[in-house]
Amino acid sequence: MAAWRLIQRQNVNRKSLTCYAWLSIAAALVTIALKAVAYIVTGSVGLLSDAVESVVNLVGGVMALAMLSIAARPADEDHAYGHGKAEYFASGLEGGLILVAAVSIAIAAVQRLLSPQPLQEIGLGLVLSTVASGINFVVALLILRAGRRHNSITLEANAHHLFTDVWTSVGVIGALGLVAFTHWQWLDPIIALAVAANIIWTGVRIVRRSVAGLMDVSLTPEDLASVRKVFHDYEKGGVQFHALRSRQSGARKFISTHVLVPGEWSVQRGHELLDRIEADIHSALPDALLFTHLESLDDPASWDDENLERGKAKSPQPPA
């Protein structure tokens, strides 16, 4: 019951994360307006690519809002472990949108490279792009910190997308500055192509992380080390563990293990031990839920499923 109460508390806490999605949407609307005006007055394909990415930011922010709202729903009969995996759909779409934006930027850059055009009002375009970039940087920093603090892959993906937009703007601003100084019109599309390549790398990383989450990837080595440290403290008192399994589902970490105690222990004593272990695991990993199965050290059948703990050699069975 303690595990399910924890799930409900986490659902309540995660409802507050939607405010960051609204912040992302607001920033996207403002930067789209600024970058669109910058493109119109300059005719720069670099600024066009920048504006296209902000449109993608808007779509990603709306998707993040929808998925965070779904992920915050309480567990029900059809979703006993909650709705946390919805966040992976948001981050996966965000990564996909980033890749689409990169391809669109590359196409526009190649076209401009083949048909160069002089740029106009570069100074005004630089000012507008710089303001938009500053807005995105501040918002991305706020969202990234919130995503890491609350272990939200949706917010982290959204923040990385915004940071990608910032680096895009920096590259475009630099290119426009060089064009204004050197009058080398080909620099504009070349920088746009370089920016597109960087965006593709960011999108691929986000998509890979989303796929790993949907495939129920195990906890990180650092998290598993924290779990085994807790187990090690109890093993000093004669308790043993095996069949350790884990998975990540959105912000939640699920862990299951078998706990072996002397056969003469009472049910009450074993239950109290499991409560202490669960509390210690929760202290080490606040977002983790531990499910335990109590077994007897004296029963040979207790060792039959030891190989569920992958990568560990099977311990010798106790004598009959």
| pLDDT value, residue 268 | 92
Backbone conformation region of residue 265, classed left if phi is above 0, alpha if psi is from -120 to 50, else beta: beta
More confident residue, 117 or 155: 155
Rg, C-alpha atoms of the chain: 26
Residue 2: pLDDT band (50, 70, 90) is very low
Domains and CATH numbers, the chain: 2-214 (1.20.1510.10), 221-308 (3.30.70.1350)
Closest C-alpha to 72, from 2, 29, 21:
21
Using one digit for the tens of pLDDT, what is the confidence trace for 147-179? 888 777 778 877 887 887 787 778 777 777 777
Mean pLDDT to the nearest integer, 221-234: 90
pTM: 0.56
How far from each other are the two terminal CA atoms of the chain, in whole angstroms? 36
Q: How many CB atoms lie within 10 A of CB 136?
A: 28
| Cβ proximity of 64 and 94 under 8 Å | yes
Using one digit for the tens of pLDDT, what is the confidence trace for 125-152? 778 888 988 998 999 999 999 888 877 7
| Cβ proximity of 156 and 147 under 8 Å | yes
